[in-house]
Structure 1
């Protein structure tokens, strides 16, 4: 998530209700359950379309710093984008068992949750939250 993306205070329920695709809405509700369980944090709308959980401060060696969610996702038209704090190479075994997905830089794309093994996804979410908390810069 880019630094310019900040919590908006807008309603997550309102955002979900506006989703035209029933499967994306149901998948989003399930992801909210999983990410809330992994973080202990409520869902918050970041920007216009990202549902994030928690907050962490980061600082790169370059000096660039900002705030972002511990973990989040966005139900986009082509796929649900999960924003994870993982080195995907370190999780190749889990990704091989996950099911149908694509990877981007820091993103996992899933067309629908029925395409993946939910227990593997939960494990990846838990690993991502732990990694995000470990890399948070001290305030």
Structure 2
């Protein structure tokens, strides 16, 4: 049976950020911590070994697979900073057009540094993602 690897942990978010080798990436991780905390209204929690998540929701797919995930989050990875927002909402794609320098994967948005993006649009992406996931997966 499949087991979800990315679960909320009791690990310290600050200790994780302090472990980021690249000084600029560490500074950006702290900037993002402030922005995500303020905009989401949730305390930062570690999810797995390297994702800083805010809030959580319980999902159930049509296949029956289910689990918990952060509503939004980010990870200061070696190559780029990964930002986690809800997928499947057309508003996300519209906001990303105004976001600044980034690339997108299926679930992640990748940036090199915070200076490359529009902070106002980042805040809208955070709010939009939380709103979309709350509608899609209402609390039981």
Task: Report the TM-score, using the length of structure 1 for normalisation.
Answer: 0.90
Return the offset for 1:42.
0.6
Q: Which residue of 2 aligns with 1:83?
A: 84
Return the offset for 1:89.
4.5
Rate the CA distance shift 1:45–1:104 in 2: closer, same or farther, 3 A. Answer: same
Return the offset for 1:127.
0.7
Rate the CA distance shift 1:8–1:63 in 2: closer, same or farther, 3 A. Answer: same
- The farther-off stretch of 123-132 and 101-110 is 123-132
Rate the CA distance shift 1:98–1:88 in 2: closer, same or farther, 3 A. Answer: farther
Task: Say whether 1:34 aligns with 2:53.
Answer: no
Number of residue pairs the alignment of both structures matches: 138
Q: Which residue of 1 aligns with 2:61?
A: 60
Q: Which residue of 1 aligns with 2:14?
A: 13
- Distance (Å, rounded) in 1 between the aligned partners of 2:137 and 2:4: 14
Residue-by-residue CA offset, 1:81-121 (whole Å, 9 max, x unaligned): 01110336443332222111000112110110111111111
Structure 2, gaps ≥5 residues long: none
- Distance (Å, rounded) in 2 between the aligned partners of 1:123 and 1:49: 24
Q: Which residue of 2 aligns with 1:101?
A: 102
RMSD: 1.7
Task: Report the TM-score, using the length of structure 2 for normalisation.
Answer: 0.89
Task: Say whether 1:44 aligns with 2:40.
Answer: no
Structure 1, gaps ≥5 residues long: none
